[in-house]
Amino acid sequence: MAGRGPAPKPEHLRQRRNRKSTAATLEMPPEGERRRAPTLPNPDGRKWHRLTRAWWRRVWQSPMASEYLPTDVDGLARLAVLVDDYHKADNPKLRKELLQEIRLQEARFGLSPVDRARLHWEIAKGEEAERKRPHRPAEEAQQQPPAGDPRALLRVVK
C-alpha cells in the first residue's frame, strides 16, 4: 500500500533558509593565549585615560573580536574617543550624554549581551564555563535516578 500525502522533499531543499547571515558561535581564546589588540589610533595626539586603554584591550581580547573586520577598527577607535572623553569629563550632564552615545555605538559591535542576541552571536560555553556554573538543586534532583518505590516507606499503624 502506497504512503499517503506528498513525498518528502529532497535533503538539499529541507534546510532552513531564514538563518541570519550574522549568526555565529564565538570562541573564547584558549587559556593563556591573548589576541593582540591593534594599536589604538590617535589622530589628535591625545593622552589616553588608563581606563580607555584597558577598555580597548578588553574589546580586542573578547570573543567578539574574532568577528571584527579591519574596517571595524575605525569605528571602534571613534568609540574609544567617546569612552576617553567620558572618563575625563567632569560635567555630569556631559557624562550622561556621552554615556548615551557610547551605549548606541557599542550596540554596533555586539559589546553587550542584548546586542549579541540581536546579532545572533552566541559565546561558546566550554568545559570551564560548565564547571564554574553554580549547580542548582532542581537540576541535581532531575539527574538522580528515583530511589525506588516511595510507597515502600508506608507502614501499617495500629
Q: Model confidence over 50-90: pLDDT tens digits? A: 999 999 999 999 999 988 999 999 999 999 999 999 999 99
In the predicted model, is pLDDT for residue 29 greater than 80?
no
Length of the chain as a residue count? 158
In the predicted model, is pLDDT for residue 128 greater than 90?
no
In the predicted model, is pLDDT for residue 28 greater than 80?
no
* 90-98: average pLDDT: 96
Q: How far is CA 19 from CA 61, 110, 117, in A?
A: 27, 18, 14
Structure confidence at residue 16 (pLDDT)? 64
Task: Give the phi and the psi of residue 39 in degrees, each rounded to 5.
Answer: -65, 135
Percentage of residues in the chain with pLDDT exceeding 70? 78
Place of cell 518528502: 8
Give SS3 for 138.
helix
